[in-house]
Amino acid sequence: MIGSASHPWLTPRRLMTVSVVVALLTIALKTGAWWVTGSVGLLSDAMESLVNLAAALFGLWMVTVAERPADDDHPFGHDKAEYFSAGFEGILIFGAAAAIIWSALPRLADPQPLEQLGWGLGLSVLSSALNGLLAWVMLRASRMHRSITLEADARHLLTDVWTSAGVVLGLVLVGVTGWLWLDPVLAIAVALNIVWEGLKLVRRSVHGLMDVAVDGQEQAAIDAVLTRFTLHQGGQPLVRFDHVMTRNSGQRRFVGLHMHLPPGWTLGRADDLRQQVERALADAVPALHASIQMLPDGVEPLTVDLSDPPEGGAHESHAH
């Protein structure tokens, strides 16, 4: 069915295109809701949808770039382009929050009556339903494609849904109590809420660009494969692995490691085992690219320990 993340139509590029269309629809609906009611809370909701549109357009561009194959200038591919999308979306959220507060403060000092709340609430609820449905589909697809762009856009849309729910609740309370000051107060609360979401997106983007290691579940899967292929003889390791280093790069994962083998093995036998390990790692962690250096047992390469300062010189690296 269309809501299933396994549906072949649900590619990152197509979903981001749908996100652009939905953002345009929600802007129209929420602007109409603000127009008929005069609510600054609904205005803040509409302004956040402008952020959704800008983020969706930039995200569409970034997933298009990320799909490009590796080339001479980018031998590891273009997958990290998606992290720029998440960071850009977080920065846009900060700008939207500032604009919302700027619009709400005058209303806090001079509250204005609201009109045609029924129409305004109806339009806001309809736009939230569209965002909620799209966010649900995008979250499911983000897990399948391991796409931070889809995940970031989905979580921002979910924030938009909760924001709209808060605004709608506030407008209902204004209609029941007559407390007009609730409208700008809720708009400011909306701004503070989306700032938190923006901080999380920027943090996630920075971590991705800094070559963060794979998550705990994926690391455990890698460790399980290496344990399975570790051979012992007479209580001593016959085949062992060390210097395991991993990193995330958008939708792809990379692992580099050393495989120590008995000196008497032929190159063909050693290469056969290496291929088995690579296939098992790829099966355990989808989109994982393994780089395995084969070494005779007792031989340790001289490498630079990246945890030491530059003046520390060359040291043997430690296993992760």
pLDDT per position as a tens digit, 24-33: 888 888 788 7
CB burial of residue 17 (10 Å; 0-12, 13-18, 19+): middle
Q: Bigger pLDDT: 205 or 320?
A: 205
* One domain for residues 133 and 100: yes
Domain CATH number, residue 46: 1.20.1510.10
Counting residues of the chain whose pLDDT is more than 90, the rounded percentage is 13
Is 2 a residue whose pLDDT tops 70? no
pLDDT in tens, 190-224: 777 778 777 877 777 777 667 677 888 889 999 99
* One domain for residues 17 and 43: yes
Chain-centre distance for alpha carbon 151: 4
Q: Residue 246 has what DSSP assignment?
A: E
Please provide the average confidence, as pLDDT, over all residues in the chain. Answer: 76
Tell me, yes or no, whether 320 lies in a domain: no
Is 57 a residue whose pLDDT tops 80? yes
* One domain for residues 136 and 261: no
Query: Which stretch of 13-17, 69-73, 252-256 has the lowest confidence by average pLDDT?
Result: 69-73
125 in helix, strand or coil? helix
Mean pLDDT in residue range 229-245: 82
pLDDT in tens, 269-301: 999 999 999 999 999 998 788 999 998 887 776
* One domain for residues 82 and 231: no
Answer for the pair 83, 208: CB distance below 8 angstroms, yes or no: yes
Report the alpha-carbon angle 137-42-169, nearest 5: 80
Instruction: For residue 244, give its domain range.
Output: 216-312
What pLDDT does residue 316 have?
41
pLDDT in tens, 146-172: 777 787 778 777 777 776 776 677 667
Counting residues of the chain whose pLDDT is more than 70, the rounded percentage is 75
Is 123 a residue whose pLDDT tops 90? no
Q: How many domains does the chain have?
A: 2
Is 129 a residue whose pLDDT tops 60? yes
What pLDDT does residue 138 have?
85
What pLDDT does residue 220 have?
94
* One domain for residues 175 and 66: yes
* One domain for residues 59 and 183: yes
pTM: 0.56
* One domain for residues 169 and 35: yes
> 237-263 b/e with 16+ CB inside 10 Å = b?
eebbbebbbbbbbbbbbbbebbbbbee
* One domain for residues 179 and 288: no
Tokens of 147: 């796409």
* One domain for residues 147 and 267: no
Is 231 a residue whose pLDDT tops 50? yes
Is 40 a residue whose pLDDT tops 70? no
Q: Bigger pLDDT: 302 or 18?
A: 18
* One domain for residues 230 and 293: yes
Banded model confidence at residue 5, pLDDT cuts 50, 70, 90: very low
Closest CA to 258 of 275, 273, 241: 241
What pLDDT does residue 313 have?
42
Sheet hosting strand 231-233, strand order edge to edge: 231-233, 236-249, 252-261, 288-296
What pLDDT does residue 111 have?
66
Is 4 a residue whose pLDDT tops 50? no
Task: Name residue, tokens 């989808």.
Answer: 286
Is 317 a residue whose pLDDT tops 50? no
* One domain for residues 228 and 175: no
Last residue of a domain, one of 155, 187, 209: 209
**Full 3-state SS string of 66-124:** HCCCCCCCCCCCCCCHHHHHHHHHHHHHHHHHHHHHHHHHHHHHCCCCCCCHHHHHHHH
